[in-house]
Amino acid sequence: MRDRLHTWLRRHHLEHGRFELGLSIALGALLAFGALAGVAWVADFDTLGRVLSRPDWDWFPIALGAEVAAYLGYTLAYREVARVEDGRPLPFARLLGIVTSGFGIFIPRGGFAADYCLLVESGFTPPQARVRVLGLGALEYAILAPAACALSIVLLTHHANVSMSLTMPWAAAVPLGFVLALAFVGRRTSWRESGGWRGRAAEGLDAFAILQHLAAKPREHGVLAAFGMALYWAGDIFCLWACLHCFLGHPPSAAALVIGYATGYALTRRTLPLAGAGPVEALLPFTLSWVAIPLAPAFLAVLIYRACNLWLPLVPAIAGHRTLLRDGAAA
């Protein structure tokens, strides 16, 4: 059994059979359910029952539509990152399969690990694939982090009812991180040859170099990549906003929501194993409560939100998985 679990973790998800896919989904469901059960116990079941007795379900289809827009935006950003710096365009069916399956709960090592293998199979060299995967992750934070930084500064200046322990790190660390990246990005070649911690830092600077290439060619790649990733974040955050509206009965503060959301996604769900099943459900309701959103509505909103961005997209994720399997068989 131990050897089978080790093989399950080491193999590419396209090599998994039905049993292994089912095992991944079942494990993700178990982690998500366990985390939600723990948060529900803290939120108090009587309070949850009272909030659940008067939801505004009209916002649910709006939340689902926002999540569809988010997936389209991520697909656009992925296409531009793949094409930048003498990259090659990916066929649309394969591109859509990579994106949708990469958010699937059936990938034990996370979507970025799967992206690397699939880009190599698509004709990229291993260094090209590695840099593009890192660049895609850097693009995610290059859009979300400055927005969280700006809104943190707004909340700090207006003395909002949000803890400084949430706003100050975003307000201070994001500008410092960009300055350090700009200062050291030119040294990544020499650092890579040195190995050790400098070699690992050079990999992160390679990701920042992808952002520089996108910015250097705004008409060809940069604008579309930034727009696509901004659409992804806007759609996903609006999905959560609509879910909160279902149970609060009024629109939540957009600025506070972005801070709570960004803190809850310290690692993005494409980075996390099993699409973040478990950690996201455990952390996000509490980060929302830290920005003055009551825990009970926050818990129920996260429950519906994860239905929109994890469980319902499992259908297109499996369809994308099958498309990639057919492409591999044809090749």
* 105-233-261 Cα angle (round to 5): 80
* Buried/exposed 52-75: b ≥16 CB within 10 Å, e otherwise: eeebeeebbeebbebbebbbbbbb
**Cβ neighbours around 125 below 10 Å, total:** 10
pLDDT given for residue 275 in this prediction? 84
pTM beyond 0.85, yes or no: yes
pLDDT given for residue 163 in this prediction? 76
pLDDT given for residue 32 in this prediction? 92
> Hey, what are 331's tokens?
């090749």
| pLDDT tens column, 241-282 | 999 999 998 888 888 899 999 988 766 777 788 888 888 999
Count of residues making up the chain: 331
pLDDT given for residue 5 in this prediction? 60
Domain ranges for the chain: 48-330
CB 170 within 8 A of CB 152: yes
pLDDT given for residue 2 in this prediction? 60
**Nearest-angstrom CA–CA distance, 248 and 185:** 45
- Residues of the chain with pLDDT below 70 are 1-15, 86-88, 192-197, 199, 266-267, 327-331
pLDDT given for residue 4 in this prediction? 62
**Cβ neighbours around 253 below 10 Å, total:** 19
3-state secondary structure 248-303: HCCCCCHHHHHHHHHHHCCCCCCCCHHHHCCHHHHHHHHHHHHCCCCHHHHHHHHH
Spatial CA neighbour of 234 closest among 135, 112, 147, 169: 147
- What SS3 class is residue 39? helix
- Kindly give, in sequence order, each residue whose CB lies less than 8 Å from that of residue 317, ignoring residues fewer than 6 positions away: 100, 101, 103, 104, 105, 106
